[in-house]
Amino acid sequence: MRLVDQWRELVSSLPEDWSDARLVLTVHDDAVCERAAALLAPANPGRSDKRIRFYTTRRGAGVGPEAIRRMLRRIDEARIEGELELVASGEPSAAPVQATHARPSLAESWAAALAGLPQDWSDVYAELELTSTDHLEPAALALSPVNPARYGGRPGFRFRSAREFGYGASPEMVRRCLERLDERGIRGEVRILRALSDTKAVETQGPVWYIGGRSV
């Protein structure tokens, strides 16, 4: 099924007063996944292997549902096949309290994300997505040592970490900052979007990623 048709069915399943939605596009062919992410660039997507995460909102800052439809149509026109999945949406009903307590801490999520990397990893570009915009200011303050950057319309930040040298905070510093958020009861999800292994600095402080035409 075309992605535009999947999007139409997904939207029809949402409540009439939905406000935002978090989505994952899983691309069948790894060779064209980067191309699909590029076509979704206005939505500031995050990629992990064949999975591309992005966000849409009907109000305020961010990319609206009509813009998402146009981007997915371009992916269809490029003959890129995939599966579109709704991860979460801003629905009127609150999530059960038990689910909130079951969520792992941010520090634990960071440790788990690093554990999934090769042993010789050297640099990562990561994302922290918060559960509420109310937490943006206190989270920015607690994360200041890792130089957090806002992105898109989602409540969260992106940052870099370097294991031994170069741009980005050390993984230990990132963990300490996330522990401060855990202590304040600030919840969210940590994801690694990009990773490099065994990089060598030659007259530079480290590698630079270009995402959406900008260096990060």
Domain that holds residue 166: 97-198
Look up the pTM and report it: 0.56
Instruction: For 120-130, write each residue's pLDDT tens digit.
Output: 899 999 999 99
pLDDT at 139 over 50: yes
Q: Is residue 13 included in any domain, yes or no?
A: yes
pLDDT at 137 over 60: yes
**Final residue of a structural domain among 60, 89, 118:** 89
**Final residue of a structural domain among 89, 117, 133:** 89
> Is residue 102 domain-shared with residue 143, that is, in the same domain?
yes
Instruction: For 166-208, write each residue's pLDDT tens digit.
Output: 788 999 999 999 999 999 989 899 999 888 887 766 666 667 7
Q: Is residue 67 included in any domain, yes or no?
A: yes
pLDDT value of position 107: 92
CB of 21 closer than 8 Å to CB of 90: yes
> Is residue 181 domain-shared with residue 111, that is, in the same domain?
yes
Distance CA 133, CA 152 (A): 13
Using alpha carbons, select from 214, 209, 111 the residue that is nearest to residue 167: 209
Tell me the average pLDDT of the chain: 84
pLDDT at 145 over 90: yes
> Is residue 66 domain-shared with residue 113, that is, in the same domain?
no
Rg (CA), the chain: 18
